[in-house]
Amino acid sequence: MVLALLNDEQQMLREMMSSLAGSVSAGNPRDIGEIDRAKGWGALAGAGMLGLRVRDGSGAPTGSGVDAMIVAEALGGALAPLPYVGSAVLATELLALAGAPPDLLQRAADGTERHTVLLIPDLSGIATVAGLGTAIAFDCWGAGHALALSDGGPAPRLVRVPLGDAADRGPAADLTREIARFTAAPAAADAEEIGRPLEPADLSRWRALALTVIAADAVGAMRAALDGVVAYSKERVAYGTLIGSFQAIQHMCADALVHCEAASACVSYAAWAADEADPDEALLAAHTAKAYTAIASLDVAETVMQVYGGIGHTWEHVAHLYARRVLLDREVLGDAAHSLLSVADLRLGQRPRPEEG
C-alpha cells in the first residue's frame, strides 16, 4: 500500500487547520450552541478550504484529496459544527464534476452559497428526483439548496432543489451536524438541472472522495477522543493509584491506538488515490478505508467510554459527542457491510450501479 506522505505545504496545512479547528471546537454539548458558526465558516472560506475541490483552468481541483482529508480530520477531531464534509466536499465535488457554472462554484468557494447532498433514507446513496419525498439532507447547516440525481440510470443529470421552508431541519444523532427532511416533495418546477450528465466514472470519483473524507472525519474524532481519555487516565486516581498504571487500561488504549493508526493509513492511501488512481482503484481504496474505519471507530468509541467510566456516560461530558460523530460517519454512504460488499464486487470485476458506486 502506498501511503500519502505529506509535503511541506500539507504539513503547514495540518498545523493551520489544527489552530482553526480549535477555534470552533466543542468541548461539551453546551458549547455547540455557543460556537459562532458563521465566523468559523468565514474563516474556512478565507483560508481557501471551501474551494479545494473547485477546478482550475486545466480542469484539476485546486486542492488534492489529501488536502481535503487533512481538513476533514482536523474538523472531526474538534467536533466542529460546520458542514465542511457535506457542503464543501460532497456537494461542491458533485457540482464540479457536473460542470456547474463558474459563478455558482465561486459562490460555493467564497462560502456565500451552500449546497448539501440529498441521500436515500438509509443514507447509503444519493437520492433521485423520484425519491425526494423521503430524502435526507446530510450536514446541511445553512444550505439553501440540495442536490440529487435525475434518475438511477448510467448517466444521470445533477438536479438542484431549494430546501427553504419545505425542509424540517434539526440535529442528527450527531449533535454537531444538522440534517433535514422534506415535509413535502419540492414542486417539479423548482427542480433545476445543472451541467452535463454524470458518467459512471464521474460518480465513482465522487463516491471515492466522499467515502474518504467521511472516514477522515471519523479518524479525527477517534484520535481526539483517545487523546482525551489517555490524558484523563494520567490524572484519575482510583484505589489510591492512577488508573493509567493499570495494565488493563493500558492494553485497551494501546489497542485503540492501533485502530487509529490503521484507519489513518487506509484513509491516507484512499485520499491519494482519489485523484491519482483510476476510478475503480480509487473506489476500492475508499471502500476499504470506509469499511475499516466504520469497524474501528466503534471499538475506539467503546474503549473511550469504558476508560472514562461513569463520567463518560453523563450528558455534560464530551465522550458521547465523539461517539455520536463516529456513529453517524459509520452510516453515511453505507456502513461497513455495505463497503465490504462493494470491495468484493470490485475485486471480482463487477461494477456497481452508478448511484451505489
Interior angle at CA 49, CA 47 and CA 51, nearest 5: 115
What 3-state class would DSSP assign to 53?
Answer: coil
pLDDT of residue 310: 87
Give yes or no for a contact between 219 and 301, defined as CB atoms under 8 angstroms apart: no
pLDDT of residue 63: 96
What number does CATH give the domain 200-356? 1.20.140.10
Q: Domain-by-domain residue ranges, the chain?
A: 200-356
Phi, psi values for residue 146, rounded to 5°: -125, 150
pLDDT of residue 79: 98
pTM: 0.94
Q: What's the N-to-C CA distance of the chain in angstroms?
A: 22
pLDDT of residue 351: 62
Classify the C-alpha dihedral 231-233-238-241 as positive or negative.
negative
Give yes or no for a contact between 218 and 263, defined as CB atoms under 8 angstroms apart: yes
Low-confidence ranges of the chain (pLDDT < 50): 1-2, 353-357
Q: Where are the alpha helices (DSSP H) in 2-121?
A: 8-22, 29-34, 37-46, 65-77, 92-97, 102-110
71 DSSP assignment: H
Interior angle at CA 310, CA 304 and CA 311, nearest 5: 75
Amino acid letter, 240? G
